[in-house]
Amino acid sequence: MNAIRNERVSTFSTFRRRLYQFQERHIHYWLIFPGMAVITAVLIYPLAYSFYISFFDYRLARTEVPFVGFGNYSSAITNYAFHTALIQNVAYSLICLIIEFLLGMGLALLLNIRFKGRGLVRALFLLPMLTAPILAGFNWRWILNDSFGVINQLLNTFGSQPVGWLVTPNNARFSIILATIWQGIPFVMLLLLAGLQALPVEPYEAAIVDGASSLQRFRFITLPLLKPVIVVVLALRIIDLFRVFDVIYIMTLGGPGRATELLPYYIYRTAFSESRMGYASAISWMTMIITLLFLIPLFKLERSE
C-alpha cells in the first residue's frame, strides 16, 4: 500500500512540475491572452464580419441575403455618388492637411522659444483638441448661423451683408474645413513641439558657429531630424481626415445637396438610410484601402535616407 501511495504521490508531483514548467515557458502567451481576446471581440471580429457581408446583398429589411461576389465593389466603382464623395474627401483631406501642417509647424516653432507665459499659451492652444467633435460641430454651426451667428452679427456691425455659411456649396465646404482645421491644429502642434524639444542641440551650435542662418538651420537640420515625427503626424491626420463624420453630421448633413458628403457620411447614409449594409461594408473596405494608399508614400519617405 505504501509503495502504491508513494507512486501516486510521485506521479502527481511529476505532473505538477511539468505543468509548472509549461506555464513558465508560455507565460507570455497567458499574459497577452486577455488583451488579445478583447481586441478580437471589439476589433477583429467586426472587421471580419463587415468584409464577409460585403460579398452579399445584405439589407436590413430583407430576410434573404443573396451572394453577389464583387458586385458591391464594382457597383461602387461605377457609382457617381461614390466618385463625388471620394473626390470631395481627397480634396478636403489635402487642404486640411496642408494648412494644419503649416500652421501647426509655425506654432510649434513659436512655442519652442522660451518666453514668459509659454505654459499658459500652450494650454490655450490645446483647448480645441480637448473639445468633443460633436460639441465642436454644434459650436461652429451656431457661430456660422445665417440669422443669429456670431460671425454674421459682426458683419452686420461693420455694415456688411450676412453670409449663408451653411446654405451654399462653397461656403459649406469652407465651413467644415474651418471647423476641422480649428480642431486639428493643436494635435499637429503638440506632436511637432514634442519632436522639436527632443532634438539634440549640438548640430545647431555647430551650425551657428559656421554662420548658418535661421532658415538654413530649419531647412538642413530641423526638417531632416524631425522627419520621423512629421511622417507620424501626417499619417495620423490622414487617417483621421478619412473618417471624419461628426462635424459633417452636425453641421451640414452632407448638404447642401451632396456638397459636403464625404466617404464616412456616404457610408452612413447608404447603410442606415438605404439599408444597404453589404454595399456600405464594401465602401468601408475601399475607403480603408484608399487610406492605406495615401500612407504608403509617407512610410517610404520615412525609410529613405
d(CA 20, CA 26): 10
135 shares its domain with 274: yes
Which residues 6+ apart lie within 8 Å of 232 measured at CB?
Answer: 191
Residue 52 lies in a domain: no
In the structure grid, which three cell numbers stand for residue 66, read together? 443573396
Q: Using an 8 Å Cβ cutoff, are 179 and 136 in contact? A: yes
Q: What confidence tens digit (pLDDT) does each residue in 272-290 have?
A: 888 899 999 999 999 999 9
In terms of domains, do 14 and 96 share one? no
Q: How many angstroms separate the CA atoms of 110 and 107, rounded? A: 5
Q: How many residues are present in the chain?
A: 305
Task: Return the ∠ at Cα 129 (arms to 138 and 93), rounded to 5°.
Answer: 80
More confident residue, 146 or 22: 146
Q: Is residue 83 located within the same domain as residue 35? A: no
C-alpha cell at 26: 508560455
Question: CATH number, domain at 220?
Answer: 1.10.3720.10
Q: Which grid coordinates are listed for 182? A: 480649428
Cα 85–Cα 73–Cα 244 angle in degrees, nearest 5: 35
Confidence label for 19 from pLDDT (cuts 50, 70 and 90) = low
Q: Residue 66: inside a domain, yes or no?
A: no
Following CA atoms 118, 123, 124, 125 in sequence, which dihedral angle do they give, to the nearest 10 degrees?
Answer: 90
Residue 57 lies inside a defined structural domain of this protein:
no
What lies within 8 Å, CB to CB, of 187 at 6+ separation is 104, 129, 233, 236, 237
Average pLDDT over residues 51-78: 89
Q: Is 53 among the domain residues?
A: no
**In the predicted structure, residue 17 carries a pLDDT above the cut 90:** no
Q: Which residues contact 73 (CB under 8 A, 6 or more apart)?
A: 54, 282, 286
Q: How many domains does the chain have?
A: 2
Residue 61: inside a domain: no
pLDDT in tens, 146-185: 888 888 888 888 878 888 899 899 999 999 999 999 999 9
User: Lowest-pLDDT range, 23-32, 39-48, 150-159, 201-210?
Assistant: 23-32
Asked whether the beta carbons of 60 and 277 are under 8 A apart, the reply is: yes
Specify whether 34 is located in the same domain as 182: no
* For residues 229-244, average pLDDT: 93
Q: Is residue 48 part of a domain?
A: no
pLDDT at 107: 93
Looking at the structure, tell me whether residues 75 and 220 fall in a common domain: yes
Q: Please give the residue range of the domain that contains residue 149.
A: 71-303
Residues 80 and 207 in one domain: yes
pLDDT at position 234, please?
94
The answer to the question of residue 103 being in a domain is yes
Q: Contact, 108 vs 196, CB < 8 A?
A: yes
Please indicate, yes or no, whether residues 28 and 79 belong to a single structural domain of this protein: no
Report DSSP letters for the chain, one per residue. Answer: -HHHHHHHHHHHHHHHHHHHHHHHHTHHHHHHHHHHHHHIIIIIHHHHHHHHHTTB--BTT-S---B-TTHHHHHHHT-HHHHHHHHHHHHHHHHHHHHHHHHHHHHHHHHTS--TTHHHHHHHHHHHHHS-HHHHHHHHHHHT-TTT-HHHHHHHHTTPPP--TTTSHHHHHHHHHHHHHHHHHHHHHHHHHHHHHTS-SHHHHHHHHTT--HHHHIIIIIHHHHHHHHHHHHHHHHHHHTT--HHHHHHTTT-STTTT--HHHHHHIIIIIS-BHHHHHHHHHHHHHHHHHHHHHHHHHHH--
pLDDT number for residue 20? 65
pLDDT at 202 over 80: yes
Do 226 and 121 share a structural domain? yes
Total-model pTM: 0.84
Same structural domain, 86 and 229: yes
138 with 27, same domain: the answer is no
Decide if 144 is inside a domain. Answer: yes
Q: What is the pLDDT of residues 82-127, one digit of tens each?
A: 999 999 999 999 999 999 999 999 999 999 888 888 888 888 888 8
The per-residue pLDDT for 159 is 79
The answer to whether residues 15 and 103 belong to one domain is no
For residue 48, give the C-alpha cell: 471580419
Q: Are residues 23 and 81 in the same domain?
A: no
The pLDDT of residue 130 is above 80: yes
Q: In the structure, what pLDDT confidence band is assigned to residue 245 with cuts at 50, 70 and 90?
A: very high
Spatial distance between the Cα atoms of 197 and 144, rounded to a whole number of angstroms: 37
- Residue-level pLDDT at 12: 56
